[in-house]
Amino acid sequence: MIHKIISHYLLTDLTTTQLPPYLMIGASSGVVLYLAKYTLYGVALLLGPGRDKYAAAAIEVDLTTIPEGKNAVFTWRGKPLFIRHRTQEEIAKAQSADVSALRDPQSDAERCQNEKYLICLGVCTHLGCVPIAHAGDWKGYYCPCHGSHYDTCARIMKGPAPLNLEVPKHEYLDEGTVIIGKED
């Protein structure tokens, strides 16, 4: 039987005959599956939480995992989030800075609810680059793109950046846990 089907299609002029039924069924099945996949995908997006809910999500961080003197990087709302466990030397240096001489004057107490931890967004306020931790003239953060230097409290000290690195809204649940971006 198969031999007859194969010889029939090989010996006849394909331009005048119809496509074999299995090719029609296969092609139409492929199209139907493709459309069904994207229909279900659209329904899932429609019924799921919106992008604004994902963007407004809060994250909880265990601060005990960050060693003293180190900087940890997390992703929050699509941006890098820096959490720095500051040493006593870094804290003393940040607290002794002359706030009136700063371009964007903010004291250490205004920027750090818990003096041991600095929490800020890792986005340079000049053009949105990601600064490097433990670098620059003040050993805080350094943006190599255009030379902005930040201190250990993420305050702009030198370079073209107009503002300090942004400190997001955060709340300490206990001494070792912080929640960042929690909306009331």
Condensed to tens digits (0 to 9), the pLDDT of residues 26-74 reads 888 888 888 888 888 888 878 877 666 665 678 899 999 999 999 999 9
Q: What is the H or E stretch that residue 143 is in? A: strand 140-143
Q: Out of 126, 134, 146, 170, which one is annotated catalytic?
A: 146
**pLDDT at 1 exceeding the cut of 70:** no
CB 140 within 8 A of CB 149: yes
Q: Name the nearest CA neighbour of 157 among 104, 112, 95, 100.
A: 104
Helix, strand, coil share (%) of the chain residues, nearest 5:
35, 25, 45
pLDDT at position 142, please? Answer: 93
pLDDT at position 68, please? Answer: 94
DSSP for residue 82 = E
8 is catalytic: no
CB 68 within 8 A of CB 87: yes
Rounded CA-CA distance 95/109 in Å is 8
pLDDT at position 4, please? Answer: 62
What digits encode the pLDDT tens for the residues 7-37? 565 555 555 556 677 777 888 888 888 888 8
Furthest C-alpha separation in the chain: 95
pLDDT at position 105, please? Answer: 92
pLDDT at position 178, please? Answer: 93
Residue type, 47: L
Mean pLDDT of 155-178: 92
Mean pLDDT of 93-112: 91
CB 72 within 8 A of CB 79: no
pLDDT at position 155, please? Answer: 92
Global pTM reads 0.69
What digits encode the pLDDT tens for the residues 103-137? 999 999 999 999 999 999 999 988 888 999 998 88
pLDDT at position 167, please? Answer: 94
